[in-house]
């Protein structure tokens, strides 16, 4: 039986999962919020960027207190990132910034403060409910230099060389076509422009039985690829000075019963374990220690 998941299934699952989260944020603002990076389902939450218990909202673990001080809880509580790409972006007044997979908009609002009224921030997201949530948040903040556009990062609805800086926080792992994402990012950046990414990668590989799980895709696990492959894709798109600025390990929530792999039959699991052991030297249950949150900075040649 062919148990590979298709790109269409992944896109649909991601849009459904994040649509549900956005609706919950809009309809039940008082309800307990996600407490880790991307945790779109209640059954499978995922990796959290710290090993500490995840009772605090994600934003306070990712951003400095002073960065968050003038954002309302309605914005900070919609943070679903796994890092802080702005920490390496060095944004300057007047720059045009594009956020790939902007979600509720937290990074866009922080960027908008840094680029000021002369600058502009565009948040792009493929989930209509997330665009709705982000626009509500922008309205509440009264920010006029931020806009949110519906679209896919594999086919960015912007002209060539129209952006100074691209940021993205825990999104590219969700794409089944990462080459297209980096190709498009390169196209829309002006020469000399930079891309600043926080994302989930793997040191090595994941078992096929995890890769096949759609719930683990939407939780930012199954789409995570080996770090060196990820960096090679960025270089292949044309970027130079590709640098990993930071890495954080031990981010997978260990309270989750990840061993209950669900989709694979018993014999498939045995085969999977054998293959995984052969090429990674790890047992099936050890993969989680290889998942990392990293921050990357790269430049389009001037
Ligand atoms: C884990 S959330 C991160 C949201 C935001 N960056 C943050 O830090 O709070 C992932 C977001 O990426 C969006 N997304 C996933 N795949 C996408 C794609 N191919 N194109 C555009 N947006 C996408 C989802 O709709 C969701 O809003």
Number of domains in the chain: 1
Distance (Å, whole) CA 277 – CA 46: 23
Ligand 1 lined by 225 (C-beta under 6 Å): no
Whether residue 187 lies inside any domain: the answer is: yes
Whether residue 279 lies inside any domain: the answer is: yes
Ligand 1 lined by 175 (C-beta under 6 Å): yes
User: What's the 126 CA to ligand 1 centre distance in angstroms?
Assistant: 7
Ligand 1, atom 27, residue with closest C-alpha = 103
Distance (Å, whole) CA 272 – CA 144: 52
Whether residue 192 lies inside any domain: the answer is: yes
Distance (Å, whole) CA 227 – CA 278: 20
Distance (Å, whole) CA 284 – CA 142: 49
User: What's the 70 CA to ligand 1 centre distance in angstroms?
Assistant: 24
Cβ contacts of 193 within 8 Å, gap of 6 or more: 163, 164, 165, 166, 299, 300
Tell me the best of 13, 171, 183, 216 to mutate to test the pocket of ligand 1, counting ligand atoms within 8 Å of each CB and taking the most.
171
CB atoms within 10 A of CB 192: 10
Mind listing the pLDDT tens digit of every residue in the chain (302 residues)?
346 889 999 999 999 999 999 999 999 876 665 545 554 444 444 554 433 334 456 788 899 999 999 898 889 999 999 999 999 999 999 999 999 999 999 999 999 999 999 999 999 999 999 999 999 999 999 999 999 999 999 999 999 999 999 999 999 999 999 999 999 999 999 999 999 999 999 999 888 888 888 988 999 999 999 999 999 999 999 999 999 999 998 888 766 555 554 444 455 666 666 776 766 666 656 788 889 999 999 999 99
Ligand 1 lined by 207 (C-beta under 6 Å): no
CA distance readout (Å), 56 to 50, 81, 279, 293: 11, 14, 37, 18
Q: CATH number for the domain including 23?
A: 3.40.50.150
Domain with 248 in it: 7-299
Whether residue 272 lies inside any domain: the answer is: yes
Ligand 1 lined by 210 (C-beta under 6 Å): no
Distance (Å, whole) CA 163 – CA 96: 5
Supply the pTM of this predicted model. 0.90
């Amino acid at each position: 039986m062919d148990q590979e998941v298709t790109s269409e299934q992944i896109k649909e699952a991601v849009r459904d999962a994040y649509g549900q989260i956005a609706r919950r944020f809009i309809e039940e603002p008082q309800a307990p919020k996600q407490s880790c990076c991307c945790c779109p389902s209640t059954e499978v939450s995922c990796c959290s960027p710290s090993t500490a218990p995840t009772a605090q909202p994600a934003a306070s673990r990712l951003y400095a207190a002073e960065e968050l001080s003038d954002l309302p809880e309605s914005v900070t509580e919609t943070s679903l990132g796994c890092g802080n790409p702005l920490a390496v972006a060095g944004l300057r007044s007047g720059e045009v910034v594009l956020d790939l997979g902007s979600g509720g908009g937290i990074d866009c609002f922080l960027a908008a403060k840094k680029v000021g009224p002369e600058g502009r921030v565009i948040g792009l997201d493929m989930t209509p409910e997330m665009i709705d949530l982000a626009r509500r948040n922008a309205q509440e903040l009264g920010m006029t230099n931020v806009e949110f556009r519906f679209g896919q990062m594999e086919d960015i609805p912007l002209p060539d060389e129209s952006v100074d800086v691209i940021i993205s926080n825990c999104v590219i792992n969700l794409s089944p076509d990462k080459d297209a994402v980096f190709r498009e990012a390169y196209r829309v950046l002006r020469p000399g422009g930079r891309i600043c990414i926080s994302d989930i990668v793997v040191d090595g590989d994941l078992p096929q039985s995890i890769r096949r799980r759609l719930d683990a895709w939407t939780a930012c696990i199954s789409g995570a690829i080996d770090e060196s492959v990820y960096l090679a894709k960025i270089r292949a798109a044309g970027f130079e000075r590709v640098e990993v600025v930071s890495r954080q390990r031990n981010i997978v929530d260990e309270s989750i019963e990840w061993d209950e792999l669900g989709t694979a039959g018993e014999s498939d699991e045995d085969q999977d374990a054998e293959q995984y052991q052969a090429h990674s030297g790890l047992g099936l249950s050890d993969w989680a220690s290889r998942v990392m949150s990293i921050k990357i900075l790269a430049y389009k040649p001037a």
